[in-house]
Amino acid sequence: MKLYKRKPDDRAPLGQPDPYMIKAGDGRYYIYATGNPGPQLFCSDSLLDGWEYKGCCLEAPGQKNCWAPCVIEIDGKYYMYYSSMDEDSDDEHGQTMRVAVADCPGGPFRFVKNLLPPFSIDPHMVVTPSGMYLFYCVNEYEAQRVGTVVMCDKMTDPFTMEGKPVCVIRPTLDEEIYQRDRFKKGEHWHTIEGAFYFSKGNTHYLMYSGACHQNPTYFIGYSVAHGDPDADLRTLDWKKFPDDTTYAPLLSKNDFVEGMGHNSVIFDNGTCYIVYHGRDIGDIKLPEDARSARIDEMKIDGDVLSVEVTR
């Protein structure tokens, strides 16, 4: 179901692409979404209603088109991982992974440093018993299926990557094609992006989005690995569910919503929820991005995740 009920005279953007939700130390819920010039902030005292638009929450002079912000609290500070373009660039492949910090979840977040060279997008920073890890996406040009892949590297501190990344999810399906003949005739570009990690016991889940949000096959899928909670996430044997050759989306286009993808997960009062973006059928024709933040309960049964989409 939709989270933010936009009014006709609202100054908020029409959509909330790439929604990342947290429950902060102050007891409030926050959503950070893709925006220009910076990430868009929404907050509420309640998980399912009462959401308010608070505007841009990042101070990053010289940057624009901030994509897929991820926020995590570490030792009382709030760190935002995101990608953006330089203000004078028109090349989306100039998207660069960066980190900003704030004293509170509502910001303002202030840019600190670049983490990776372009093209690098869609971060998810996690803290596990074995340390801090950053999942992110880069382009792979020399592969059987060229395109965007999910990488994982360990962090030595919130601002520093260890520099020993491994690829944890690659494209394996035609349904993951972003665009046919994109850069070279006969070579189709694939996309796996929007990683989100969580675990339950010895089962590790790595969620992702496949293809392009304008394509009918665009979907949310996930990989599963088994190992100790304190395992190095780069060493786990990640396997797409149910396997590499079966298109079995957790979420994809249905009768009333399309463009479902790029999710986060939140556990609240013993219930697991998936937060994702999606468009009402037909809204793709609107002049503004209409992918709105949505939430539904997600069931976890061993390796199997399931979601019943609501209006």
- What's the CA gap between 47 and 294, in Å, rounded? 11
The β-bridge relationship of strands 40-44 and 77-86 is: unpaired
* Candidates 175, 176, 193, 283; catalytic one: 193
The β-bridge relationship of strands 58-59 and 109-114 is: parallel
> Position of tokens 């892949």?
149
Residue 169: enclosing H or E segment and its boundaries?
strand 166-169
Q: Is 271 helix (H, G, I), strand (E, B) or coil?
A: strand
1: which residues sit within 8 A by CB, 6+ positions away?
48, 294, 295, 296, 310, 311
Provide the token pair at 133: 């890890």
Residue 300: name the closest of 203, 229, 230 by CA.
Answer: 203
The yes-or-no answer on residue 175 being catalytic is: no
Q: Is 255 exposed, middle or buried (0-12, 13-18, 19+ CB in 10 A)?
A: exposed
Phi, psi of 112 (to 5 degrees): -115, -55
Which DSSP string do the residues of 94-161 spell out, in sequence order?
A: G-EEEEEEESSTT--EEEEEE-SPSS-EEEEEEEETTEEEEEEEEEE-SSSS-EEEEEEEEEEETTEE
The yes-or-no answer on residue 308 being catalytic is: no
- What's the CA gap between 176 and 215, in Å, rounded? 10
Q: Is 124 exposed, middle or buried (0-12, 13-18, 19+ CB in 10 A)?
A: buried
Report the catalytic residues. Answer: 18, 193
